[in-house]
Structure 1
Amino acid sequence: MTRRSLAALAAIGFLGACQTVSSTPDPFKATAMEEAGVADLLLESGDPGAAVRFFSERLAREPDDPAHRRSLARAHARAGALAEAASGYRALVASGHASDDDLIALGFVEVRLDRWAAARETAGALPPDLDTPRAHMLAALLADNARDWAAADAAYARAAQLSNNAPDVHNNWGVSLMARGAYAEAARRFEQALAADPGWFVVTNNLALSRALAGDFGPPRGGLSEAEKAIILHNQARVAESRGDAAMARRLYAAAVEVHPRHYPAAATRLAALDRMAAP
């Protein structure tokens, strides 16, 4: 595995698995309590673009307020504007107003930007005895990147303990184990995540992938939509194809095409390619 092994799983070709906040006549006329409520809504469940606009206006009106800069950085991160988010958090650091949570958020943004050296520098600025789930999750990701599996497992274990076994911790831990080739242990982590959040399709997909990578191409579990079943069958087929099992891949692609409620070009295209390769 390379240093980007966690992202490299996507190279096989796997497919993944809010209510929009409308504009108000003048949000700046709201009371302080109403403003706080609007801000929380925008940051947690609103339209990411609306949040960026809202906090950009706030920061323009009150450029010295670190709370607005922090909220704008969070909004940028949620909107996928990672470079802007990193700049916002770094401005907080430079101003002396960055909290430990801000540093952790910056570290996660830098990881998403593939700026591993910067993320390590950011993590190094945290108190060495900081004992929070997100601090340990950041440490786990950095250890994964360094291929320090013992440190990664220790950090994931502590994050799980502190977060009462939050499903996202076990999902990330499972992805780490899957990238190392520890498929059985990865499957156990995904199962634990699903026990806490049975409807999380991303984890269901990851569980199917971990089993397929170990040679188990069993059918998707119950309770999925037809489209979700088709996605899992397609991803299992990609694994089978990468393992050189063309017959299994063809069967799984065909099943994905059959079960999908509409035309499924991703599976249909691969099935046609395998059929052409098998033709005399």
Structure 2
Amino acid sequence: MIPTLALLLLAAEPDPAPAPSPPPIELNLSLTEAGRAIEAGRLDQAKAMLAGAVAAGAKGEPVDRLLADLALARGENEQAISLYQGLLASHPDERLLLERAGMAAIKLGRLAEATALLDRATRQADAGWRAWNARGVAADRQGRWDEADAAYARAAALDSSRAEVANNQGWSLMLRGLWGEALAAFDRAYLVNPNLPRLANNRELARAAAAADLPQRRPGELDDAFAARLNDAGVAAMAVGQAKRAEAAFAQAIELKAHWYSKAADNLAALGPAR
């Protein structure tokens, strides 16, 4: 016979909590379709689908991941990086989260944070060309050319079919005033994907800069000084009617994002239809 005290204790134990029921199949399908819509660039559709899924009870990490990806795709980078950082608290070494958080940080101009995130991403065994490509961009924004070269080389080695890498290499070389090398990089990108957005314009700028013999960056020259010389070259070209040379010079001065930005932008706008 079970003692009376034991019977009382057994009776006092609460019933075990029911196991949480898995999300309905319809919700899982809705989240999957929302992810596909984000990848395809159908961002308004993805937003509506996610809103519907949340209203129907979807929540947790699967939703947060999609919300972060949607925010990144929409350029809502503060929201994106906040969501990615929250997910990284539970998954500190997940390459995809680190990679995308790093991309958002670059777009926000938080370059030290971006570099740290992308360094962690590229240390992962499954790091792909996107992580290394983004690491190259972060290095470019800081004028760390050796790091940029190494990152782009690694990205190209991982996937030589990505025109984005050669295009970014071209911009990196343009920022250094290496016009001929930049044009060669843009030409490589063109052979891979001639329809890459902005590539045609990039090639034209590099071709004009190389043909017009724009100033090259001096060893150790800071952004401000190089941007000023490019702006001066553009003004001189504009004065004698060399519109293409002026456009190339002003565009590069703007890209450096120094305090000459507004002046060069005004000069470029002044070219108007002559371009």
TM-score (ref. length: structure 1) = 0.65
Distance 2:134 2:149 in 1: 12
Contact 1:212 1:239 in 2 (8 A): no
- Report the Cα offset of residue 125 of structure 1: 3.4
1:67 to 54, 62, 66: 62
Deviations 1:163-203 (A, max 9, x none): 12410111111111111111111111110111111233511
Contact 2:163 2:196 in 1 (8 A): no
Contact 1:240 1:249 in 2 (8 A): no
- Report the Cα offset of residue 136 of structure 1: 1.2
CA RMSD of aligned residues (A): 3.5
Give 2:142's aligned residue: 146
Give 1:109's aligned residue: 104
Contact 1:90 1:106 in 2 (8 A): yes
Runs of at least 5 residues in structure 2 that lack an aligned partner in the other structure: 1-22, 214-229, 247-265
Aligned AA (1:195): L
Moved over 6 A (4+): 238-241
User: Does 1:247 pair with 2:243?
Assistant: no
Alignment of 1:218-229 (within 5 A): none
Aligned AA (1:146): Q
Contact 2:234 2:245 in 1 (8 A): no
Aligned AA (2:62): A
Contact 1:89 1:98 in 2 (8 A): no
Distance 1:271 1:135 in 2: 38
Deviations 1:35-78 (A, max 9, x none): 355223321224323323433453563332x1211111111111
1:92 to 87, 91, 97: 87
Contact 2:129 2:158 in 1 (8 A): yes
Aligned AA (1:185): E
Identify if the C-alpha distance between structure 1 residues 271 and 73 changes in structure 2 by more than 3 Å, giving closer, same or farther. closer
Deviations 1:8-38 (A, max 9, x none): xxxxxxxxxxxxxxxxxxxx98746743552
- Report the Cα offset of residue 132 of structure 1: 1.8
Aligned residues: 214
Contact 2:38 2:46 in 1 (8 A): yes
Point out which structure has higher relative CO (alpha carbons under 8 A, 6+ apart). Answer: 1
Contact 1:137 1:159 in 2 (8 A): yes
Give 1:259's aligned residue: none
Give 1:209's aligned residue: 205
Distance 1:48 1:141 in 2: 25
Runs of at least 5 residues in structure 1 that lack an aligned partner in the other structure: 1-27, 218-237, 254-265, 275-280
Task: Classify the secondary structure of the residue corresponding to 2:241.
Answer: helix
- Report the Cα offset of residue 118 of structure 1: 1.6
Contact 2:31 2:53 in 1 (8 A): no
Distance 2:48 2:163 in 1: 32
Identify if the C-alpha distance between structure 1 residues 272 and 197 changes in structure 2 by more than 3 Å, giving closer, same or farther. closer
Alignment of 1:184-203 (within 5 A): 184-203=180-199
Distance 1:143 1:155 in 2: 9
- Rg: which structure is higher? 2
Identify if the C-alpha distance between structure 1 residues 174 and 125 changes in structure 2 by more than 3 Å, giving closer, same or farther. same
Contact 1:107 1:138 in 2 (8 A): yes
Aligned AA (1:248): G
Percent identity among equivalent residues?
27
Distance 1:103 1:129 in 2: 10
Give 1:270's aligned residue: 270
- Report the Cα offset of residue 146 of structure 1: 3.1
Deviations 1:194-243 (A, max 9, x none): 111123351110011112222349xxxxxxxxxxxxxxxxxxxx989715
Aligned AA (2:236): G
